[in-house]
């Protein structure tokens, strides 16, 4: 018998029939003798609909009240799943995040988990119940207010619960059969990856792969929680995310590149005519940091001999573009740069794999594939197991397919996306 935390995303519980299907799967796990804790997301597009409703009522809703509203989506689906399980003859109890003991910081909209006190969950399991926890939410340790953990953070709730309860593993259910070598909506021949290391999955998630939330993978790696990514629409084996030392060594040694990720949510800013002297770059990026904007790639050009000025380009989340421009304009008189250019018609494509540590020529293969496809590279960034490039937005799909084929990742069959969202 195992203790399992199973998380179901919005596409898996999009309507009444989907909830009933999930209930049958959960009941099978219970009948197999396992202790089962469910973490559940809001149904389908419920969170987006609630956000739209809030904006119709108030153009700038108070963060506290917005959290009160948005958390109702998960509470709704948790209660409905408990009802469906009861109709199948199973004892089930649903809990909000706060009832489940999820203690967070007080930052509304993007709170962090501080601690989990799962006393009520453990008691319910001891009594033979299936426990259902509303994901994405908790209660502030300081203010005792309801908080949300950020979009997609039900994954994080599930892994944190698995760690707090010493679960054997955490299963994340979505509408695809695991982690694939690329987005199957772009590359129909993408292959399912049977096992992937925390390190590689972190790079995949950070660079645009939507199958797992980044904070979820960070938490799993830190606490060494095995994560099993599966589809709620099939019984296929899925993908295990685990410590590289626990993986099948021979398969890992054969794989140079594990996958290709892409991100359409970034924009590029170029600060033109920056004086090339000590401390100027510091002032630019201090202004960006004070605006609480995360920067990804950074490139500084060689200074022009004639005027000793240079250009600095960097990428950032597209949603922070306006705030970044305003912050830079505010320091323009002090820094004395000439202009700020903004471009949101870009995308990032990354090849990721622990195998590139010991295999030369990965960069050449990647860049040659892009060149053969007629794709120009705007910026380049690397880590020990990742190479990322910025390309034109309308060439992202072509770049993903070119890289995927160049590294021999194409499969003969086609991957299946059951509901269309990837979550």
Domain boundaries, the chain: 3-253, 266-343, 346-406
Model pLDDT, residue 250 = 43
Per DSSP (E only), the strands in 175-222 are 195-197
Do residues 41 and 76 touch, judged by C-beta distance below 8 A? Answer: no
Model pLDDT, residue 141 = 95
- Distance (Å, rounded) from C-alpha 215 to C-alpha 112? 10
Give 343's strand partners: 268
3-state helix vs strand vs coil in the chain, percent to 5: 40, 25, 35
Confidence of residue 418 (pLDDT cuts 50, 70, 90): low
Do residues 41 and 9 touch, judged by C-beta distance below 8 A? Answer: yes
Domain 346-406 matching CATH 3.30.2130.10: the answer reads yes
- Distance (Å, rounded) from C-alpha 123 to C-alpha 107? 30
Number of helices followed by number of strands (H, E) in the chain: 13, 20
The string of pLDDT tens digits covering residues 385-394 is: 999 999 999 9
Lowest mean pLDDT among 53-57, 90-94, 373-377, 412-416: 412-416
- Distance (Å, rounded) from C-alpha 114 to C-alpha 60? 28
Do residues 347 and 266 touch, judged by C-beta distance below 8 A? Answer: yes
pTM listed for this prediction = 0.86
b/e sequence 131-141, b meaning 16+ C-beta within 10 Å: bbbbbbbbbbe
Q: Give the per-residue SS3 of 288-325.
A: HHHCCCCCCCEEECCCCCCCCEEEEEEEEEHHHHHHHH
The SS3 of residue 7 is strand
Give 95's strand partners: 133
H or E element, residue 146 = strand 146-148
| Cβ neighbours of 209 (radius 10 Å) | 24
- Residue 137: CB partners within 8 Å, gap ≥ 6? 67, 71, 74, 96, 97, 98, 102, 146, 147, 148, 149, 157
C-alpha closest to that of 325 among 247, 269, 375, 396: 269
- Distance (Å, rounded) from C-alpha 160 to C-alpha 118? 11
| Cβ neighbours of 405 (radius 10 Å) | 16
The string of pLDDT tens digits covering residues 118-154 is: 999 999 999 999 999 999 999 999 999 999 998 778 9
C-alpha closest to that of 205 among 423, 380, 402: 423
Helix 362-372 to helix 396-406 angle (10° resolution) is: 130
Hunting for tokens 């993408």 — which residue is that? Answer: 190
Phi, psi of 3 (to 5 degrees): -100, 120
The SS3 of residue 125 is helix
Model pLDDT, residue 255 = 61
- Distance (Å, rounded) from C-alpha 370 to C-alpha 406? 9
Classify domain 3-253 by CATH number.
3.40.1160.10
Helix 154-164 to helix 214-223 angle (10° resolution) is: 10
Residue 417 has pLDDT above 90, yes or no: no
Dig out the tokens for 128 from the structure: 């033979």
Dig out the tokens for 25 from the structure: 């799967």
Overall average pLDDT of the 100-107 stretch = 95
Classify domain 266-343 by CATH number.
3.30.70.260
Confidence of residue 411 (pLDDT cuts 50, 70, 90): confident
The SS3 of residue 289 is helix
The SS3 of residue 193 is coil
Overall average pLDDT of the 57-69 stretch = 95
Model pLDDT, residue 419 = 60
């Amino acid at each position: 018998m195992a203790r399992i935390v199973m998380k179901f995303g919005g596409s898996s519980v999009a309507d009444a029939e989907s909830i009933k299907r999930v209930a049958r799967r959960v009941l099978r796990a219970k009948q197999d003798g396992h202790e089962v804790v469910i973490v559940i997301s809001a149904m389908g597009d419920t969170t987006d609909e609630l956000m739209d409703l809030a904006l119709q009522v108030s153009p700038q809703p108070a963060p506290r009240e917005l959290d009160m509203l948005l958390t109702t989506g998960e509470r709704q689906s948790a209660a409905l799943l408990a009802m469906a399980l009861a109709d199948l003859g199973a004892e089930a109890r649903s809990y909000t995040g706060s009832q489940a003991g999820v203690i967070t910081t007080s930052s509304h909209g993007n709170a962090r988990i501080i601690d989990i006190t799962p006393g009520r969950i453990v008691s319910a399991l001891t009594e033979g119940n299936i426990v259902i926890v509303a994901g994405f939410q908790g209660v502030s340790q300081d203010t005792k207010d309801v908080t949300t953990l950020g979009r997609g953070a039900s994954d994080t709730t599930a892994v944190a619960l698995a760690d707090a309860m010493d679960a054997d593993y955490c299963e994340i259910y979505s509408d695809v059969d695991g982690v694939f070598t690329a987005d199957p909506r772009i590359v129909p021949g993408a292959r399912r990856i049977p096992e992937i290391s925390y390190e590689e999955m972190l790079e995949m998630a950070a660079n645009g792969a939507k199958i797992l939330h980044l904070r979820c993978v960070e938490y799993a790696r830190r606490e060494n929680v095995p994560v099993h990514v599966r589809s709620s629409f099939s019984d296929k084996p899925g993908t295990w995310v685990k410590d590289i030392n626990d993986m099948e060594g021979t398969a890992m040694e054969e794989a140079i590149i594990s996958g290709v990720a892409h991100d359409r949510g970034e924009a590029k800013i170029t600060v033109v005519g920056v004086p090339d002297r000590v401390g100027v770059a510091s002032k630019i990026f201090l202004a960006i940091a004070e605006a609480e904007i995360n920067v990804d790639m950074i490139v500084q050009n060689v200074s022009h001999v004639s005027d000793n000025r240079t250009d600095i380009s960097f990428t950032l989340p597209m949603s922070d573009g306006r705030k970044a421009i305003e912050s830079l304009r505010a320091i323009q008189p002090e820094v004395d740069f000439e202009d700020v250019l903004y471009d949101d018609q870009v995308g990032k494509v990354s090849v990721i794999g622990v195998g590139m540590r010991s295999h030369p020529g990965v960069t050449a293969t990647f860049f040659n594939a892009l060149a053969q496809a007629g794709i120009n590279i705007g910026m380049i960034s690397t880590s020990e197991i990742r190479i990322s490039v910025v390309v034109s937005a309308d060439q992202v799909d072509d770049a993903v397919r070119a890289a995927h084929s160049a590294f021999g990742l194409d499969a003969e069959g086609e991957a299946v996306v059951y509901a269309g969202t990837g979550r």
